[in-house]
Amino acid sequence: MKHKPNKYSAKLRLLVILCSAFVLAYCVAQLAIGYTYIPTRRGGILLSGVSTLFIAFSSMLFCTAGVSLLVDHYDERDNEALYRRARAWMLKVGLGFLVLAPVLELLLAIMFISAGHEPLTYRGFAADATLYDPALAGYRESVAALSGHPVLIVVLVLTLLLAAIAWLSAKYRIPGMKGFQGLTAVALMGVVSVMCLLGAIEDFVAGEVSLSRSGAVYTALDHPAQFNAILLTKSMAATVSLLFSAAGLVVLVWKGPAVFAGHELEKD
């Protein structure tokens, strides 16, 4: 039987490239800052020391797993099984390090505090760097005014949603509620993403962020590493969510609600 090498679609390869680039950038930022922020319902926790190195290592493994898929696509040799095993191993080990990091942070903190020592910390190679400029404080009221009016953002997103529905109604025969459900989900995701991004921008121009559970406040001038870690996670998560919602809206407008209906539509 003739060997048939693995081939992956251009869309999948593009998605893998974008995700790998995002993970690699986040990994470099972690090593530069020296802290990793993990959001929680009650504000979030900051990891440092060995835990940050664990998360950075897991990020490298995830990125390498993505690159291996791209290499597998262009490699014509009969070694697909090797690539699959390598990817599975990297994903499992990376996930293990990711889950172990906060547990290790807690155990090390308990050990060092009980022994009367300061917990281990990892100082990033750019821990004191910050993009914050005190002159940005002048824009705080403007950003707060915008983020303080979520109704305007909801109205804007609903307007875009209605425009998309009108486009679909004029171009296709709407098959049912699934298309509308998809548009609604995309719209809600967009609203939440915009609100979170505005919150991150407000924190940036204010030059301070806080952890609601502990009440700790970190400023860009006094605690640049912690400030950068929290702001980086918040802004990147909001940006990625916003990009996915925008991409979902584009797909729905371009292809119609058949994506959710499970069959192709015919133009009128």
* pLDDT confidence bin for 256, thresholds 50/70/90: low
Q: Name the percent of the chain lying above pLDDT 70.
A: 75
Q: Which of 201, 205, 160 is nearest to 183 (CA)?
A: 160
Is the per-residue pLDDT at 161 higher than 80? Answer: no
User: What pLDDT is recorded for position 264?
Assistant: 46
194 φ, ψ (degrees, to nearest 5): -65, -40
105 φ, ψ (degrees, to nearest 5): -60, -45
Q: Bridge-partner residues for 48, per DSSP?
A: 35
Is the per-residue pLDDT at 267 higher than 50? Answer: no
Cα–Cα distance measured from residue 114 to residue 243, given in angstroms and rounded to the nearest whole number: 45
Structure tokens at 98: 């990711």
49-67 residues labelled b (16+ CB within 10 A) or e (exposed): bbbbbbbbbbbbbbbbbbb
79-116 residues labelled b (16+ CB within 10 A) or e (exposed): eeeebeebbeebbeebeebbebbbebbeeeeeeeeeee
Structure tokens at 94: 């990376």
* pLDDT confidence bin for 263, thresholds 50/70/90: very low
pLDDT 10s digits, 74-129: 887 877 788 889 999 999 999 999 888 888 878 877 887 777 776 666 677 777 87
Among 114-123, 137-146, 202-211, 250-259, which is the least confidently predicted range? 250-259
* pLDDT confidence bin for 268, thresholds 50/70/90: very low
- Beta strands of the chain (E only): which ranges? 35-38, 45-48, 208-210, 217-219
Q: Are strands 217-219 and 45-48 parallel, antiparallel or unpaired?
A: unpaired
Longest dimension (CA), the chain: 76
Cα–Cα distance measured from residue 142 to residue 140, given in angstroms and rounded to the nearest whole number: 5
Considering 13-27, 87-101, 181-195, the range whose residues carry the highest mean pLDDT is: 87-101
257 φ, ψ (degrees, to nearest 5): -70, 5
Cα–Cα distance measured from residue 116 to residue 131, given in angstroms and rounded to the nearest whole number: 36
Q: Name the percent of the chain lying above pLDDT 90.
A: 7
Is the per-residue pLDDT at 24 higher than 50? Answer: yes
pLDDT 10s digits, 34-77: 888 887 777 777 888 788 888 889 999 999 999 988 888 888 78
DSSP state of 267: B
- 68, 90 contact by CB (below 8 A): yes
How high does pLDDT run on average in the chain? 77
Structure tokens at 180: 């509308």
Structure tokens at 266: 């015919």
- Beta strands of 24-167 (E only): which ranges? 35-38, 45-48
pTM score: 0.73
Cα–Cα distance measured from residue 128 to residue 17, given in angstroms and rounded to the nearest whole number: 30
